């Protein structure tokens, strides 16, 4: 899939805008994500923390789960914005991998600068995917 710089910037800008609503009173580390499906729909997400810390959910998973709960399971790209251009956590990489290893991941900082662009396949080598469960019995 070929992406234009305008498309990249537009998805990063949507994640920056979404990030304003991040609920991160404990870590203060706000994350925003924007996901574009193959059908052209956009879903955004933010991290939502909880006083019982482990119940926190990451921005990427919120965006992906919003899409899936809407019946959308084929993704083109996802942008992730943090202050310092942080990388998606392992759990989010695994959830991304569930829906396709070719999804493009844009990692950007709080100024909207693209820090890294890679596929889920590159982010999570040797991923465990649904195909691994297709075993003969
Ligand atoms: N966080 C995300 O939203 N996405 C990631 O991929 C990494 C971590 C959130 C979870 C928590 O609210 C905060 O960042 C600090 O870990």
Which tens digit of pLDDT belongs to each residue from 103-113?
Answer: 999 999 999 99
Cβ atoms of 42 and 76 closer than 8 Å: no
List the residue whose alpha carbon is closest to atom 9 of ligand 1: 58
Spans in the chain with pLDDT lower than 50? none
Ligand 1 mean position, distance from CA 74 (Å): 23
Please give the pLDDT value at position 136: 76
Q: What is the DSSP letter of 52?
A: S
List the residue whose alpha carbon is closest to atom 3 of ligand 1: 58
Please report which helix (H) or strand (E) contains residue 133, including its range.
none
Domains of the chain are 5-133 (3.40.140.10)
Counting ligand 1 atoms within 8 A of each CB, the residue from 61, 65, 89, 116 with the most, and so the one to mutate, is: 89
19 φ, ψ (degrees, to nearest 5)? -55, -25
Ligand 1 mean position, distance from CA 77 (Å): 19
Q: Which residues line ligand 1 (CB under 6 A)?
A: 24, 27, 29, 31, 47, 49, 56, 58-60, 88-89, 92
Q: Which residues are catalytic?
A: 60
Please give the pLDDT value at position 2: 87
Tokens representing 81? 């914005």
Please give the pLDDT value at position 103: 98
Please give the pLDDT value at position 1: 76
Q: CA-CA distance, 97 to 124, in Å (whole number)?
A: 8
């Amino acid at each position: 899939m070929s992406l234009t710089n305008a498309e990249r910037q537009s998805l990063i800008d949507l994640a920056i805008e979404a990030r304003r609503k991040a609920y991160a009173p404990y870590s203060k580390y706000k994350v925003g994500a924007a996901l574009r499906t193959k059908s052209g729909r956009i879903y955004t997400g933010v991290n939502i923390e909880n006083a019982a810390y482990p119940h926190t959910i990451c921005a990427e998973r919120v965006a992906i789960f919003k899409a899936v709960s809407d019946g959308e399971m084929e993704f083109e790209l996802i942008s992730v914005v943090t202050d310092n251009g942080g990388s998606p956590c392992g759990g989010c990489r695994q959830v991304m991998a569930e829906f396709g290893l070719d999804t493009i991941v844009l990692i950007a900082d709080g100024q909207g600068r693209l820090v890294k662009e890679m596929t889920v396949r590159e982010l999570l080598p040797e991923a465990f995917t649904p195909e691994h469960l297709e075993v003969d019995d």
